[in-house]
A and B are shown apart, each in its own frame.
Chain A
């Protein structure tokens, strides 16, 4: 079983809709969870970090963490064409400096 799993997509949503991106992880002792956005040809950019169960909101982005279900998600409200990118989920295993990345989900927001 892969350590961090994501649907590869592409996930297509219309402009203005809510995009929902999902990620599951296998190591129960994982402490920290991250979402990165990567535009085509560019490097990943950290957009959200979440460390405790529940929701964390930052502008149009909401990260949701459920450690019991080993599940973390990213919601993007009022999706814009500029949100079209690949979104990488990452997990910090055992609160060290060991980051494990999922394969990414490609999001396409249609005007």
Chain B
């Protein structure tokens, strides 16, 4: 089955720890994205990558980092510098026309 997988589904961390969220796709899409969604809010773009070994900051990149070493993978690290990391994190990928989302990772930091 083609699709986007994110792991884990739920993640709990203590404040001050870095945490890495996984995103893998087998749709052969060039572009991949990370969004953050807070309760009752819309999507906010964190980072995106249009090609391997290249990525750009989105609207809320502070406190986050990414890498794109393989076409299929786009992991997101939430660093201790991110002031309010508790949120629902969504990974997406696209061809030139349509964007599809993974199931999301719900991160809780206490």
Contact = CB atoms under 8 A, between A and B. Distances in A.
B96 A97 contact: yes
Given A34-B99, A46-B99, A103-B41, A97 B48 contact: yes
The range of chain B's interface size is 10 to 19
B63 interface: no
Interface of A: 32, 34, 36, 42-46, 49, 51, 88, 90, 92, 95-97, 99, 101-104
Nearest to B49: A97
B103 A90 contact: no
Contacts, number: 45
B97 A43 contact: no
A46 B41 CA distance: 18
Contacts of A96: 96
A-B pairs with lowest CB-CB distance, top 5: A97-B31, A103-B42, A43-B101, A43-B104, A101-B43
B30 A42 contact: no
Nearest to A101: B43
Contacts of A45: 101
